[in-house]
Structure 1
Amino acid sequence: MLLKFAFKDFIDDRKFKNTTQKNVRNYLTLLGEFVNYCTDNEIVNVEDIAQSHVREYLMFCQDKGNQAGTINTKLLRIRAFLNYMVECEVIKNNPAHKVKFQKADVKIDVFSDEQINQMLNFYRRVKRRENSYVAYRDYMIIVVILGTGIRRGEIIGLKWSDVDFENQSLSVFGKSRRKESIPMTMKLTKELRAYQTFCKQRWGSVNEYVFTKRDYTQLTENSLMLVFKYLRQKMNFTNVRVSPHTFRHTFCHRLAMSGMSAFAIQKLMRHQNITVTMKYVAMWGNELREQNDKYNPLNNLDL
């Protein structure tokens, strides 16, 4: 089967299975690069792809400067594509299965209290000075992520009907495509009530969506990323990336540092697999620090 037709068939299959638009775009970009690489190297049929071709492509990406995490993501996309070819009986075995993932350095950036206050104070000043809806909206986006660990796509799709002020909870469609409930603290509940009142006064009515663009239409993924691009430029932090995911990591970091159990963190972060949660707990949890303070061999030495 011609590779270009197989690639199109695979993308159509992902769309038919209602894969998120974000994942479809990732396949088009990351898997598309592999297809182009094969074509440039005169590999035109799916049946001609060998383990060596996959490995050589990933080495090519490495030489271009791709980090281990990016290379592993590309390998996952290639494996998914070739698994589909096996399902369609185009090939008997997936040649990418024997290609190993690269070992990646585990470093997860989080914000310090000083950085968080710096960002929030920036938006407070702009809002007071200009009575700016955009500054208040961006301030609240940060507050909501820090208070719930909500994901980027969930921010965009959040509706006022999803906010239960009485029971202090948010409802979102998570990665599992299921409606999930997230508890809110009293502080976050009060902040959202005040923001809703501001929106009513500003626009004369409340939009269906909690966060909107300047023209009061639903926020898009691109417009949300522009929010963080602008904030990144204003803050100019050198040791941490200003992004929605960094705020989510910060939420998880504070839970782990507080001593919260891995099970509770998993529920709040809505990780499908607790091994993901354990990665954070192992990195940040305070249990290891407490055990070290108690049993360290230096404790019994007269120094």
Structure 2
Amino acid sequence: MARLRSALPRRVAELVSDFEDHLRDERDLSPNTVRAYLGDVVSLLAFLHDIPEDVDLDTVSEAAGEGTAIEDRFDDLDVGVLRAWLARQHEQGRSRTTLARRAASARTFTAWVSRRGLLPSDPGARLSSPRPHRTLPGVLRRDEVDNLMRASASGAEQGDPLALRDHALIELLYATGVRISELCGLDIDDVEFERRMVRVLGKGRKERMVPFGLPAERSLRSWLGQGRPHLVTRDSGSALFLGARGGRVDPRTVRRVVHHAVAAVPGAGDVGPHGLRHSAATHMLDGGADLRSVQELLGHATLATTQLYTHVTVERLKAIHDQTHPRAR
């Protein structure tokens, strides 16, 4: 993205910078969300200006010195360009989910520039995009979760600081169903052992309290008492989970830990942190939790999102049918 952004005409590049400020300062979006928006918008603007993805910046600089720099075509941005850009993405094999996200980014950008009076109308308002396929992540069975926790606890029994950390974060991920970014952002003070609750800062900087059980409490106490002190450095701050070098643990490390731990469970599919989140939600529903309670625990803005993340197992449907249908027996 940086190379394409540098190749844009000066006025357009400055506009991208202003849009970045808008997303970060006015809309208060997370760094990852801002990065995704900018990547899509830069791709669109590069397409508008016929800048190839593998652009040679030295060639662009030489052309600028000869007075043949890339012409500013921003005023030509219309719905036809938007559709052609998405068509190019489709030809390159982008998924429906990616196309839908990029269309949404483009609409956000064109709405912003039109409000500033930089375009006579908002071309994004006329843009439609395919609905993304909503695929569910893999789910562990309850017995597979039990095997996962037993194996994880067995490794932690040796007292290795990283093994204690890994067991604690796996327990907490499943116990609470928090997102991986929420887990990595936790501080020690966010954990209330007396009530067995953890304060989570979710999407949109919305705060919620999520309960956890006794197994997670035990693993957290072991990590904080016997593991974390061996990894803490001046860079650790108040982070609940630390990396091997003492800094706050990063999502890549958490993904690696979970995938590695699940791979040791016989018969289990390849499940990552999001799979543990989905497993927790599914098992709560199977246990009788209502959908709105699960929605609050997961931090979803709408119930529709929770319905996509959770599903009712065939066994539960059969049990309900047997118990309630007058002709089931």
The normalised TM-score by structure 1 is: 0.82
Question: Which of 208, 212, 223 in structure 1 is aligned with 2:242?
Answer: 212
In structure 2, the residue matched to 1:39 is 49
C-alpha spacing 1:236/1:55, structure 2 compared with 1 (3 Å): farther
Change (3 A) 1:208 1:65: same
CA displacement at 1:43 relative to structure 2: 8.6
1:81: Cα distance to partner?
0.8
- How far the C-alpha of 1:175 sits from its partner, in A, is 1.2
Aligned partners of 1:48, 1:121: CA distance in 2, in Å?
A: 61
Contact 1:55–1:99 (CA under 8 A) maintained in structure 2? yes
Deviates more, 1:100-109 or 1:70-79: 100-109
* 1:197 paired residue among 194, 208, 225: 225
Structure 1 Cα separation of the partners of residues 264 and 40 of structure 2: 31
* 2:19 partner amino acid: F
SS of residue in 2 equivalent to 1:15: helix
In 1, Cα distance between equivalents of 2:72 and 2:232: 59
- 1:54–1:96 Cα contact (<8 Å) kept: yes
2:64 match: none
Query: For each residue in 1:7-37, what CA deviation from the matched residue of structure 2 results, as whole angstroms up to 9, or x when unmatched?
Result: 2221122122232111122123232222222
Deviation (angstroms), 1:162 = 0.9
CA contact (8 A) 1:256 1:285 kept: no
Distance change (3 Å), C-alpha of 1:115 and 1:102: farther
Secondary structure at the aligned position of 2:210 is classed as: strand
Q: 1:68, CA displacement in angstroms?
A: 1.0
Q: What percentage of residue pairs aligned between the two structures are identical?
A: 18
- What is the aligned-residue RMSD (CA, Å)? 3.4
SS in 2 for 1:107: coil
Q: CA shift at 1:273, angstroms?
A: 1.4
Per the alignment, residue 92 of structure 2 pairs with 64
Give the aligned partner of residue 212 of structure 2: 184
Q: Residues 254 and 21 from structure 1, CA distance in 2 versus in 1: closer, same or farther, beyond 3 angstroms?
A: same
Distance in 1 (alpha carbons) for counterparts of 2:287 and 2:71: 54
Distance apart, 1:78 and its partner CA = 0.9
Q: 1:117–1:59: structure 2 CA closer, same or farther, 3 Å change rule?
A: farther
**By how many angstroms is 1:154 displaced?**
1.6
Are the aligned partners of 1:170 and 1:184 in contact in 2 as well (CA < 8 Å)? yes
* 1:207–1:216 Cα contact (<8 Å) kept: no
Q: Report how far residue 39 of structure 1 moved.
A: 1.7
Q: Is the 8 A contact 1:109 1:241 kept in 2?
A: no
Q: Does 1:100 align with 2:128?
A: yes
Distance of aligned partners of 1:118 and 1:239 in 2 relative to their CA distance in 1, 3 Å threshold: closer
- 1:274 corresponds in structure 2 to 303
Letter aligned with residue 23 of structure 1: T
1:216 aligned partner, one-letter code: G
For structure 2, the residue ranges without an aligned partner over 5 or more in a row are 1-8, 52-69
From 259, 267, 277, the equivalent of 2:288 is: 259
Matched, 1:52 2:61: no
Does residue 85 of structure 1 match 2:113? yes
Q: How does 1:8-47 map to 2 (within 5 A)?
A: 8-17=17-26, 18-40=28-50, 44-47=72-75
Change over 3 Å in CA distance of 1:87–1:208 after alignment to 2? same
| Inter-partner Cα distance in structure 2 for 1:135 and 1:200 | 11
Q: Distance in 2 between matches of 1:26 and 1:237?
A: 37
Conserved? CA contact 2:184–2:248, under 8 Å: yes
Largest Rg, 1 or 2: 2
Using the TM superposition, give the Cα deviation of residue 180 of structure 1 relative to its aligned residue in structure 2, in angstroms. Answer: 1.7
Q: 1:101 and 1:35 mapped to 2: Cα distance?
A: 18
Q: CA deviation at 1:174?
A: 1.5
CA pair 201-175 structure 1, distance change in 2 beyond 3 A: closer
